[in-house]
Structure formats: C-alpha cells, structure tokens
Amino acid sequence: MLEIIALIFLTRKNGATALRKGLKPGAWKLYTVLAWFAAEIIGFIVGALLIGQVNLLGLMVFGFVFAFGGFLAIKYILDKKPDTLDEEVNRIGTEDLRP
C-alpha cells in the first residue's frame, strides 16, 4: 500500500516537471509507472539471485530500491530536457558563468 502511495506522489512530481518543460505530463507519468514496475521486477530477480528466494523481506527491499531507481532514471531523462522557450529567454544573463 505504501508503495502505491509513493508511486502516486512520484508520478505527480514527474508530471509537474514535464508540464513545466512543455511536454505532455500524461505520457511522462506513464513512463514513470512503467519504469517503476520494470525496475521492480528486475530488482526481485537480482535479489533472488543474490540472497535466494527464502528471505522475502530482502526481496522486497531489493524490489523497492530498484523501483525507486526506475523513477530516478525517468526523472533524470526529464530533467535533461530543455525548459520551455519563454523560461529560457527570461533566464538569459541570470546564470553565473564563472568556474
């Protein structure tokens, strides 16, 4: 149950970021959910290979950590996208270019 609540919160966060960047938030929410479940399954498989199938709590931890990694992968891709043109134009001259 907590996993579903976390997924809803994180999906909304990625949707808001996509909207800010001028992208379709629904598509990025779907990508977040798909990446979450795909990474969770991979986490369960890796956990089963490393610690065996007996330790259910360990498998759940592996699954959750990998699932959060799926969210972070989509967030990284989304953060690398450029902001909308209006925000880019308004930020000209405000960034410090010193090393």
Q: HEC string of 18-87?
A: HHHCCCCHHHHHHHHHHHHHHHHHHHHHHHHHHHCCCCHHHHHHHHHHHHHHHHHHHHHHHHHCCCCHHH
Instruction: Please indicate whether residue 11 or residue 88 has the higher confidence score (pLDDT).
Output: 11
- Calculate the average pLDDT of the chain: 88
Contact 3, 67 (CB under 8 A): yes
pLDDT number for residue 87: 64
Say yes or no to pLDDT of 95 above 70. Answer: no
Please state the pTM of the whole predicted model: 0.79
- For the chain, the domains span 2-81
Q: What pLDDT digit, counting tens, does each position of 43-87 carry?
A: 999 999 998 888 889 899 999 999 999 999 999 999 998 877 666
